[in-house]
Amino acid sequence: MEGREIKNSGKHPRGFTHAWRATGIALQGLRAAWQHEDAFRQEVLVAAIAIPVALFLPASTFGKAMMIASIFLVLIVELLNSALEAAVDHTSLKQHPLAKRAKDVASAAVLLSIVNALVVWGLVIKYAFF
């Protein structure tokens, strides 16, 4: 096997067609999260307010980028949390300690991403105004 090229299995097209289809799938995922996840809708609302605020604050370009990135990180982690919860629920709706642990850990990741955003925003605002 060494030195041989791995060929496309035909599962996914290559090039622009793959990128186009992958973008469509990603948009379906965003649509599903919007339709089925209250927390995601709430966080998008916060992002819709916070991102323009970040752009208009008298912070450095790097500070603004960090503020916006921290908001996107919350959205990304929420999407991953929602995906994990859906996968666990699909596997079984029965209560199981490992399922609970998986969901709790994913929720903790969301919480930490929110704390991260609050810390980033606090630090940037502190140094922009004080």
- Specify if 123 maps to a domain: yes
The residue annotated as part of the active site, out of 5, 37, 78, 85, is: 78
CA atoms within 13 A on the CB side of 52: 5
Q: What is the pTM of this model?
A: 0.85
Helices (runs of H) and strands (runs of E) counted in the chain? 4, 0
- Specify if 74 maps to a domain: yes
Quote the domain boundaries for residue 62: 37-129
CATH number of the CATH domain containing 63: 1.10.287.3610
Residue of 129 and 71 predicted with greater confidence: 71
Q: What is the pLDDT of residue 1?
A: 47
- Specify if 8 maps to a domain: no
Ranking 92-96, 101-105, 123-127 by mean pLDDT, the lowest is: 92-96
Catalytic site includes residue 78: yes
Chain mean pLDDT for the chain: 92
Question: In the structure, what pLDDT confidence band is assigned to residue 45 with cuts at 50, 70 and 90?
Answer: very high
By the 8 A CB rule, do 102 and 84 touch? yes
At residue 123, φ and ψ (nearest 5 deg) are -65, -45
Residue whose entry in the numeric block shows the structure tokens 């930490």: 112
Q: Say if residue 2's pLDDT is above 70.
A: no
Number of domains in the chain: 1
